[in-house]
Amino acid sequence: MSIINRMPKVSGNLRENAPLGKKSHFGVGGVAEVLFEPSDMDDLVFFLRRIPKDIPVMPLGAMSNVLIRDGGIDGVVIVLGDWFKKVFVEGEIMEVGAGVPCSKLATVAMDNELGGLEFLMGLPGTIGGAIKMNAGCFGSEISNVLVECEGITTSGKVQWFKVRDIGATYRRTNIPDDCIITRAWFRGVSNVNYSIPKKIRELMKQRREAQPIGSRTCGSTFKNPDGYKAWQLIEKAGCRGLKVGGAQVSDKHCNFIVNTGGATASDVEILGEKIVQEVLRKTNVQLEWEIIKLGRKGND
């Protein structure tokens, strides 16, 4: 029996065998056994409190930092819809739905003449995922501007986290894996002594010059080890331009793997592991994936 027949009745959208790969930034990977898009917070809470406990649940955002394996994802994948994509501004505080793209929040802050969030324009994902991994770029991290956030566990328990309580470090927080971020509050800075639009233009110019913008990629493949830049280690190991199937190490920035056309998730993963092996062999430094690998391999 299909697990969709065991789902509680909801007002949101439930779909079987929903394609994920083509929607991911890599453009590779399989399907979700069931995809759920809740209509609002009440619908999400209702669903999580009533779904059978043996069915796994996984939240996904913009899929900008994940590799969906070719075998797809078993159980239920939750994607937050329009109700979770709203931003409200009051003074220097912005209440933000977890489904809001980081770039949209940067734009809203700019439109309201609030500084300090310009770096978010360079993050391709959504707010929820960015908070969970303390995403950052241009020398700033999301925990620098976060005040607090709301989440719900996969068992349906609503939780709150002050920024001081999430243990934010480089690309990590201690927010539990089973917690889905639903809302967050950020603080901007009014009356900054610089032009916010100009700063955003400068940051985006820097990004275009340094990264393979426009390619099918999920951004930085590996975290920077303590004391090192991952791209320098990859360069030193001779992996710039290395290719497996349709996946290739970018010539422009060698901590980016790009889908040159026709790549599979397996191509990307095999290439990434080759890089890890070569860097370890040539530099004695162990790289750690920044991209999150999800689901079953194609032959599982």
**pLDDT tens digits in sequence order for the chain, 300 residues long:** 689 999 999 999 999 999 998 889 999 999 999 999 999 999 999 999 999 999 999 999 989 999 999 999 999 999 999 999 999 999 999 999 999 999 999 999 999 999 999 999 999 999 999 999 999 999 999 999 999 999 999 999 999 999 999 999 999 999 998 899 999 999 999 999 999 999 999 999 999 998 998 899 998 999 999 999 999 999 999 999 999 999 999 999 999 999 999 999 999 999 999 999 999 999 999 999 999 999 999 765
Tokens for 203?
């940051």
- Say what the pLDDT of residue 42 is: 97
Same domain membership, residue 129 and residue 39 = no
Domain count, the chain: 3
In a domain, 195, yes or no: no
In a domain, 174, yes or no: yes
**Could you tell me the CA-to-CA distances from 186 to 101, 125, 148, 191 in Å, in that order?**
14, 16, 7, 16
Q: 55: domain CATH number? A: 3.30.43.10
Which of 138, 170, 187 is the C-terminal boundary of a domain? 187
- Say what the pLDDT of residue 82 is: 96
Beta strands in 66-204 (DSSP E): 66-68, 73-79, 87-90, 93-97, 136-137, 140-141, 146-153, 158-162, 179-187
Which of 33, 66, 82 is the C-terminal boundary of a domain? 82
In a domain, 24, yes or no: yes
Which of 139, 171, 187 is the C-terminal boundary of a domain? 187
CA distance 198 to 145: 20
Same domain membership, residue 109 and residue 74 = no
Tokens for 76?
């239920």
CA distance 184 to 167: 16
Q: 151: domain CATH number? A: 3.30.465.10
Q: Give burial (CB, 10 Å; 0-12/13-18/19+) of 161.
A: buried
In a domain, 242, yes or no: yes
Element (H, E) at 124: none
Same domain membership, residue 77 and residue 11 = yes
Any idea which residues carry the catalytic annotation? 171, 220, 290
Q: 274: domain CATH number? A: 3.90.78.10
- Say what the pLDDT of residue 2 is: 85
Same domain membership, residue 92 and residue 34 = no
**What is this structure's pTM?**
0.91
In a domain, 193, yes or no: no
In a domain, 202, yes or no: no
In a domain, 155, yes or no: yes
Same domain membership, residue 182 and residue 115 = yes
Same domain membership, residue 138 and residue 64 = no
Same domain membership, residue 139 and residue 103 = yes
Among the listed residues 73, 42, 32, 60, the one whose alpha carbon sits nearest the alpha carbon of residue 128: 60
Same domain membership, residue 90 and residue 72 = no
CA distance 232 to 246: 23
In a domain, 194, yes or no: no
CA distance 285 to 225: 8
Same domain membership, residue 224 and residue 130 = no
Same domain membership, residue 121 and residue 68 = no
Same domain membership, residue 275 and residue 219 = yes
Locus of tokens 């590996």:
222
Q: Which domain holds residue 219?
A: 213-294
